[in-house]
Amino acid sequence: MRWSQAFLPVLKESPSDAQIVSHKLMLRAGLVRQTAAGIYAWLPLGYRVLQKIEQIVREEQNRSGAQEMLMPTLQSADLWRESGRYDAYGPEMLRIRDRHEREILYGPTNEEMITALFRDDVKSYRDLPRTLYHIQWKFRDEVRPRFGVMRGREFLMKDAYSFDLDEAGARQSYYTQMLAYLRTFQQLGIRAVPMKAASGPIGGDLSHEFIVLAPTGESEVFYDAAYEDFDWQQSDLAYGDEAGLQNLFDRVNSTYAATDETHDEARWATVAGDRQRTGRGIEVGHIFYFGDKYSNAMGLKVSGRDGTTVTPMMGSYGVGVSRLVGAIIEASHDDAGIVWPEAVAPWRVGIVTMRADDEPSNAAAASLYEKLRAAGVEVLFDDRDERGGVKLGSMDLIGLPWQVVIGPRGIANGTVELKRRSTGEREELSLESALARLTQ
Ligand code: ATP
Ligand code: MG
């Protein structure tokens, strides 16, 4: 992309209506614009990041054996009456009437809909277990939408739902999603610690929130330093390995990590003082087992192996895809702007010409731009007619992992400057070496 032809509005001033750094940077760097309270338009740069996150989440869900589908945002009130949640949900639910005075709602989540769909087509134990997911917009009329996309009213979520014949099977589905989450967040370039969460109506130990550590997080967190040496990728563990998954869960469960909601002083006291870590964190995912709550209420039953009838046991698994954009920025920025982890960067390389009127610089930059594109590298070429300093500032602000800075003096000597955004390291090298480095 050439910046001169792009819609990439960056702001010089920090917007006064934003309180936390990620929200400020998302507005300044032109990722989003608020169109109504808690509702955002994703501008091209922000949308590229959102799509990258979505894709990483999707690929790991697929590897874990979950199948993707797409459910609508609008749902009928009658569906929610089946579970009793139409009345129970409260003012966070956006309730709408259509032209025939039928009650509908903008989905805050999809347990009812997936249970009804599954009920209509699945009749036998042979069709279980299954895990289904979609990545879809949700609406929750939050009392206090704030911090930009971090607590919006409309937001993008990956939500998965598992169906199993019994609790033992449901535990495996839960462990599988736990592993998928560890791998997903690792690939996104962040660490999200699984912390014991409030377990809701049925109790038990199967409820974890995944928390990214950041000083501006909404929850207070307490965790064992063992998570600092934790093998997040768990590369030796296969998704089908039941004993291995049980081990992983046991390890997570026996290593203390909790938010203020579930913090247990007595257990905390058993963690050695020099291993106690406290701070704040942002919830980016939540996995949750709820047994037969919905299948029972909504009459989902399948025939069992021996002519019996079985009520499937379910779990749900959410990732805050749009919240992650903010959370990643909270975890990865500096005074000059965003520092994107490579995996989610909107472009991998930015090219900057220091003097827009210097023909040799422009020719070198255009040639590098075309060669990088031909090699399949995502590259943004800042060819705007602006002062070099302004362009360097914009490039730091939008946080692409690599910058190639091209100026008249360097070009006269046949060199350009390659800068790594995360460390600030710079290196003078020939155009050919820069190309080789960025395409290797
Ligand atoms: P919170 O406690 O932050 O209100 P929640 O527990 O209500 O979230 P879940 O129902 O567990 O949220 O939804 C799954 C994920 O969706 C959360 O882990 C979070 O990352 C994301 N999420 C929830 N509410 C919002 C929101 N208002 N804006 C953006 N993302 C959200
Ligand atoms: Mg939650």
Do 277 and 380 sit in the same domain of this protein? no
Spatial separation of the C-alpha atoms in residues 206 and 66, rounded to whole Å: 19
Neighbours of ion ligand 2 (CB under 5 A): 286
> 413 is in which domain, residue-wise?
347-438
Do 52 and 196 sit in the same domain of this protein? yes
pTM (2 decimals)?
Answer: 0.97
- Torsion on CA atoms 278, 281, 285, 288, rounded to nearest 10: 50
Q: Is 317 in the pocket of ligand 1 (CB under 6 A)?
A: no
pLDDT tens string, the chain, 440 residues long: the values are 999 999 999 998 888 889 999 999 999 999 999 999 999 999 999 999 999 999 999 999 999 999 999 999 999 999 999 999 999 999 999 999 999 999 999 999 999 999 999 999 999 999 999 999 999 999 999 999 999 999 999 999 999 999 999 999 999 999 999 999 999 999 999 999 999 998 766 667 899 999 999 998 999 999 999 999 999 999 999 999 999 999 999 999 999 999 999 999 999 999 999 999 999 999 999 999 999 999 999 999 999 998 899 999 999 999 999 999 999 999 999 999 999 999 999 999 999 999 999 999 999 999 999 999 999 999 999 999 999 999 999 999 999 999 999 999 999 999 999 999 999 999 999 999 999 999 98
Cis status of the peptide bond prior to 215, with omega within 30 of 0: no
Counted domains in the chain: 2
Q: What tokens appear for 326 in the block?
A: 């903010």
Q: Domain boundary residue among 290, 313, 338?
A: 338
Do 157 and 56 sit in the same domain of this protein? yes
Number of neighbouring beta carbons within 10 Å of residue 363: 12
Spatial separation of the C-alpha atoms in residues 321 and 52, rounded to whole Å: 10
| CATH code where residue 172 lies | 3.30.930.10
Spatial separation of the C-alpha atoms in residues 21 and 48, rounded to whole Å: 20
Q: Is 103 in the pocket of ligand 1 (CB under 6 A)?
A: no
Do 39 and 128 sit in the same domain of this protein? yes
Q: Is 157 in the pocket of ligand 1 (CB under 6 A)?
A: yes
Do 153 and 69 sit in the same domain of this protein? yes
107 C-alpha to center of ligand 2: Å?
Answer: 16
Alpha-carbon Rg for the chain in angstroms: 25
Do 82 and 39 sit in the same domain of this protein? yes
Do 171 and 312 sit in the same domain of this protein? yes
359 C-alpha to center of ligand 1: Å?
Answer: 51
DSSP letter string, 281-342 = EEEEEEEEEEETHHHHHTT--EE-TTS-EE--EEEEEEEEHHHHHHHHHHHSEETTEE---G
Do 49 and 163 sit in the same domain of this protein? yes
Do 83 and 191 sit in the same domain of this protein? yes
Do 327 and 392 sit in the same domain of this protein? no
Do 290 and 360 sit in the same domain of this protein? no
Protein residue with its CA nearest to atom 22 in ligand 1: 320
Protein residue with its CA nearest to atom 15 in ligand 1: 320
| CATH code where residue 375 lies | 3.40.50.800
